[in-house]
Amino acid sequence: MTAQPLFALTAGEPAGIGPDLCLLLARQAQPYPLIAIASRALLAERARQLSLDIQLIDAEPDLWPSAPAPAGSLYVWDTPLAAPVVSGQLDPANAGYVLETLKRAGQGCLDGHFAGMITAPVHKGVINQAGIAFSGHTEFLADLTHTEQVVMMLATHGLRVALVTTHLPLKDVATAITAERLARVTRILDHDLRSKFGIARPRILVCGLNPHAGEGGHLGREEIEVIEPTLEQLRGEGLELIGPLPADTLFTPKYLEHCDAVLAMYHDQGLPVLKFKGFGAAVNVTLGLPIIRTSVDHGTALDLAGSGRIDCGSLQVALVTAYQMADSRR
């Protein structure tokens, strides 16, 4: 048994800024033992490239640390690369390596070794180019944990936004918003705000789908036929739901200061507001999983890998959020 909960940090796409983020983060001590799941050789080479003096300390099953690493050091569960890495240059040969880091972290959470996992960005395109069907962290972890429905939520200071639909063409959104899907997503959001964020009675604002929330059916009937009846049913189950409200007025202080989360109907309805408010200081949280998973709010930034011109603010927020979620669970 370890004295403190362990957390896993996956370094993401090896040619991107994920390894840089892990090393920059290691300059300061963390409150809990944090295990970077990555190639030790990759981290050593990237540290040399960045002129960072970071001590890499071996960590693996049966040899987990019992205390946080000192400032200037990083625990590493060495995961071998398939091919050498050049900063900024994608190589499909290392797609399997990326998925292995995710598998180790996710399975470690399921097995109780890790209290949560934090993920640096991956590059979906190069993994698919390698002939591996991969649509993202969320779907990979849902499959690994045998979870039927997950919910994407981004959060920054003073605002949480969850999505009913995620990466769909706009023309397909209305059809995808069924009563069953809306109810399932809303229940997961309410449940995880309680169980993983420690909110006793979450107050959730729900966006309408159409402009002016349909304006009484004149601008669309989805609110009348699907959204309002579903919310009323869920209120009968004890959920505190306000809406559907027009999205253009919902995202104002009058409403936001009295809510715990916003439920948006589609990706570009809610996330532009959140990213305007907190880009670089936001976190991506996957709700509905039996494990805790948080991530950064940005991509692999291949052009910045190895340059030292990056900000690890989003990763720090992802770490703090994972720690807080684990504390709430305990």
What DSSP state is assigned to residue 26?
T
Taking phi over 0 as left and psi of -120 to 50 as alpha, with beta for the rest, 220 belongs to: left
- 27 annotated as a binding-site residue: no
Q: How far apart are CA 206 and CA 141, in angstroms?
A: 27
Other C-beta atoms closer than 10 Å to the C-beta of 251 total 23
Pairwise CA distance, residues 52 & 46, whole Å: 8
Residue length, the chain? Answer: 330
Token duo for residue 315: 């990763």
Annotated binding residue 138: yes
User: Is 267 part of any known ligand binding site?
Assistant: yes
Q: Is 171 annotated as a binding residue?
A: no
For residue 293, say whether it is annotated as part of any ligand binding site. Answer: yes
Q: Which has the closest alpha carbon to 31: 297, 316, 280?
A: 316
128 labeled part of a ligand binding site: no
Name which of 162, 191, 154 is nearest 321 in CA terms: 154
Task: Name the pairing type of β-strands 73-78 and 151-156.
Answer: unpaired
Around Cβ 226, how many Cβ atoms within 10 Å?
19
For residue 135, give the amino acid letter. Answer: S
Instruction: Establish whether 212 is an annotated binding residue.
Output: yes
Distant-in-sequence, close-in-space partners of 63: CB < 8 Å, separation ≥ 6? none
CA distance linking residue 16 with residue 305, whole number of Å: 5
Q: Which residues contact 1 (CB under 8 A, 6 or more apart)?
A: none
Is 123 annotated among the ligand-binding residues?
no
Residues in binding site for substrate: 137-138, 275, 284, 293
Give the annotated binding-site residues for a divalent metal cation. Answer: 167, 212, 267
Residues flagged as binding site = 137-138, 167, 212, 267, 275, 284, 293
